[in-house]
A and B are shown apart, each in its own frame.
Chain A
């Protein structure tokens, strides 16, 4: 059987931290006496990823996404569990492993602030020991795909956030990694720049067959790029599969968005379905998939309807539902 590129078994990570009472007095007290607390950032994570897959890694803040990514890239040692990436255990930090993957964190940059991006690229060439020929080819390809040819010689501090992110990506990909971890690569970018980054990632994944694991809070990123999503919450995996299946399974209702010609009362609508939004002349109803046509017909007949619009549940809502359910512990 073919070995998957990334294989995680029973991964756990527990942090120790200390409780501090609020205020200066509290800080003084905690100098002498403090309460030790343990948090299980990652409780039990198992999954494997095949070569060339583009996987979305979702979860609310503090779910354990970044901690998992940091263990996959060898920054952190786990409390227990096994991880195999490209045949290596990441936290052994073998140079042969480190030369084959890349980690991009949207909130942290590696480019030299006062110098043109090209200088950082040349630095990475020496650090990663990229042969001149490969470097030239890689640079040409990436700068064309990302359309950054013209900004490579401008000091990084003069670039816009979007341009900077493109250069960050180029810097991370010059050594042609086989595995790429992206932690919120589009954070803080405007809509156009986000779209540019997405288009690039999609093309890059298709052309290079690079295995990519992406975390993002923007559902557009996930929907456009990832066939498969892994959702974590409170340190556990709560879903692993295709995005479409997730929607089909959890979204068993449709949305009826109705505008009325005269003001209505909330109680008049309750018999048709769950009222999720209400204004005197406007309402949104959740209606079971099996019956939505019938109910829509009834509403049209019985109420003073100006307009009615039938809509699918958005992915955001599905995900929000899953987070809400898993918080209470039952899936």
Chain B
């Protein structure tokens, strides 16, 4: 019992420590952005535009048809919001750094991340923080707020389950990315992995019912688990909880996380670093 208390306090200490370091990196990223004023405004505007275009797509779609796979316009916006939250958190912590991972391997700046007293993945993610992801996140909160305002506030247990599944969504997406990115240790120069992950995760913004046929339904919940990157959390938020998917989401998150950890550690052992 005492040992458990000690290990729990260690975990909390680590989490706190990583947040402190993250905060320091975030401030550096902001300072770099502000050093180039024009670039700051450009990045910000582009992020707003791309978020708005995702929103417009749904608006145009629902101007033509009343429902897609049983989802109304307002419900579809909740999927988009959940998708945005999962994406923006993933981008903030790891994805933008991973976007340049092959470059880090090629020029050898990854070496530095292996000698510092922190997890190399955290250092990869923190070194390329894009503060602009706050745009998607704010839009997502606005969309959720809109739904609650128009309909009703979900019960507390739903909120808790929803947050938990947003977290699972982030875990699944990032594990998926890390698993594919370990290929880079062998191939070094394969930038398209990040694009592939982005393309696949794009499916996260649609209802899971759009997948036709047993094979694709199965794929979308297992090997390419896109349903957990938007649709399933949204169902929970809307109170349409499918317990089968809740159990499955928990298992998928665990399996993906453990495989990512295993494959990453194994890949590090064969890492041969850039030349001398």
Interface residues of A, Cβ cutoff 8 Å to B: 15, 61-62, 65-67, 70, 73-77, 93, 95-96, 98-99, 101-103, 105, 108, 110, 112, 114-115, 119, 122-123, 126-129, 155
Shortest Cβ gap from B194 to chain A (Å): 22
Q: Give the docked Cα–Cα distance between A76 and B28 (Å).
A: 29
Interface residues of B, Cβ cutoff 8 Å to A: 17, 20-21, 24-25, 28, 31-32, 35-36, 108-109, 111-112, 114-118, 268-273, 276
How many A-B pairs have beta carbons closer than 8 Å: the answer is 71
B273 touches A76 (CB 8 A): yes
Nearest B residue to A183 by beta-carbon distance? B276
Q: What 18 new A-B contacts, CB under 8 Å, besides A74-B115, A96-B117, A115-B32?
A: A66-B276, A70-B111, A74-B114, A75-B115, A75-B273, A77-B268, A95-B117, A101-B115, A103-B112, A108-B108, A108-B111, A108-B112, A114-B31, A114-B32, A126-B20, A126-B24, A127-B118, A129-B117
In the complex, chain A residues whose CB is within 8 Å of the CB of B28: 112, 115, 119, 123
A123 touches B276 (CB 8 A): no
B21 touches A115 (CB 8 A): no
Say which residue of B31, B36, B108, B269 sits within 8 Å of A119 (CB atoms): B31
In the complex, chain B residues whose CB is within 8 Å of the CB of A73: 114-115
Can you list 7 A-B pairs with a CB-CB distance of less than 8 A? Answer: A65-B276, A93-B114, A108-B111, A108-B112, A110-B112, A114-B31, A127-B118
Say which residue of A99, A101, A112 sits within 8 Å of B32 (CB atoms): A112
A98 touches B117 (CB 8 A): yes
In the complex, chain B residues whose CB is within 8 Å of the CB of A67: 276
A99 touches B21 (CB 8 A): no
Q: Give the docked Cα–Cα distance between A216 and B26 (Å).
A: 36
Nearest A residue to B123 by beta-carbon distance? A127
In the complex, chain A residues whose CB is within 8 Å of the CB of B276: 61-62, 65-67
Which of A62, A99, A101, A126 gathers most chain B CB within 10 Å? A126
Say which residue of B36, B108, B109, B116 sits within 8 Å of A98 (CB atoms): B116
Say which residue of A15, A99, A105, A119 sits within 8 Å of B117 (CB atoms): A99
Nearest A residue to B35 by beta-carbon distance? A114
Q: Give the docked Cα–Cα distance between A278 and B82 (Å).
A: 81
Shortest Cβ gap from B271 to chain A (Å): 7
Shortest Cβ gap from A23 to chain B (Å): 18
B21 touches A126 (CB 8 A): yes
